């Protein structure tokens, strides 16, 4: 089997049949001017590291650039991305912040959650206030950055194995959202012990 992943003018060719991969690359060179760069190391700000057949996807450089961009490089670390039983809500009492810079920051955090499912919930909370961000929301976003600073090398590990066992886990918080008393749910799916969706 051969898989071709294309994003604009970048592509990844992978699979378990080297002959088929080589054949596809030859066919692509007939139509396109391509360069074969060898084993995948970096794609769309996602770093790929290999170890004993295992694969680690991380965004260490993207996080470092984000910390530098936001001036958070020298801030204290946070042990969690959001406070347990947080009370972040729409607040007219808190000062307004620049919505453009807040939205850019949250967009960058959303992209980071592709390899960092540990921040997905907190980024989801921050995303609820894109239309009217306040200082309390900005402080919560800074906490996520402080957490990322302390966990910069984390990512998603895909372990090589023979099992294709599917495991699905879910959790729910009934009426736990502060603003509208809606419930929030979370789920993750593992195949062969490797996290594939969340």
- Whether the pLDDT of residue 38 is over 70: the answer is yes
- Do 66 and 136 lie in one domain? The reply is yes
- Do 10 and 42 lie in one domain? The reply is yes
The CA radius of gyration of the chain, in Å to the nearest whole number, is 20
Among 155, 171, 187, identify where a domain stops: 155
pLDDT, residue 161, reads 84
- Do 76 and 89 lie in one domain? The reply is yes
Q: How far apart are CA 127 and CA 122, in angstroms?
A: 9
Among 35, 56, 77, identify where a domain stops: 56
pLDDT, residue 178, reads 66
Beta-bridge mates of residue 127 = none
- Do 46 and 67 lie in one domain? The reply is no
> Which residues form the domain of 11?
2-56
- Do 151 and 86 lie in one domain? The reply is yes
- Among 47-61, 91-105, 135-149, which is the least confidently predicted range? 91-105
Retrieve residue 37's tokens.
């760069």
Sequence-distant (6+) residues with CB within 8 A of 112 are: 59, 62, 63, 66, 119, 123, 148
- Do 15 and 39 lie in one domain? The reply is yes
- Do 24 and 74 lie in one domain? The reply is no
Three-state secondary structure call for residue 65: helix
Instruction: Say if CB 133 and CB 75 are below 8 A apart.
Output: no
Report the number of distinct structural domains present in the chain: 3
- Do 101 and 177 lie in one domain? The reply is no
pTM: 0.81
- Do 18 and 52 lie in one domain? The reply is yes
Instruction: Say if CB 148 and CB 119 are below 8 A apart.
Output: yes
The count of other CB atoms within 10 Å of the CB of residue 178 is 13
Among 25, 41, 56, identify where a domain stops: 56
Query: What is the number of H-type helices and E-type strands within the chain?
Result: 5, 9
For residue 17, what are the CA distances in angstroms to 3, 12, 24, 176?
10, 14, 11, 49
- Do 70 and 27 lie in one domain? The reply is no
Using one digit for the tens of pLDDT, what is the confidence trace for 104-136? 999 999 999 999 999 998 999 899 888 989 898
Beta-bridge mates of residue 170 = 187
Using one digit for the tens of pLDDT, what is the confidence trace for 123-181? 998 998 889 898 989 999 999 999 999 999 999 999 988 888 999 999 887 766 666 66
* Average pLDDT value for residue range 2-26: 88
């Amino acid at each position: 089997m051969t898989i071709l992943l294309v994003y604009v003018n970048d592509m990844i060719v992978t699979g378990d049949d080297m002959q088929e991969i080589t054949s596809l690359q030859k066919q692509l060179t007939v139509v396109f001017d391509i360069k074969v760069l060898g084993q995948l190391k970096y794609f769309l700000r996602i770093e790929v590291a290999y170890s004993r057949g295992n694969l680690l996807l991380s965004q260490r450089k993207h996080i470092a650039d984000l910390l530098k961009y936001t001036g958070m490089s020298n801030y204290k670390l946070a042990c969690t991305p959001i406070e347990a039983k947080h009370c972040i809500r729409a607040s007219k009492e808190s000062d307004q912040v620049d919505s453009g810079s807040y939205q850019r920051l949250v967009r960058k955090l959303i992209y980071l959650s592709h390899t960092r499912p540990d921040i997905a919930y907190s980024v989801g909370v921050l995303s609820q206030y894109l239309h009217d961000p306040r200082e309390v929301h900005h402080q919560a976003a800074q906490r996520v950055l402080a957490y990322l600073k302390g966990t910069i090398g984390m990512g998603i590990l895909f372990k090589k194995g023979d099992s294709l066992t599917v495991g699905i886990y879910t959790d729910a918080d009934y009426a736990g959202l502060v603003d509208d008393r809606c419930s929030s749910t979370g789920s993750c799916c593992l195949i062969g012990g490797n996290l594939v969706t969340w």
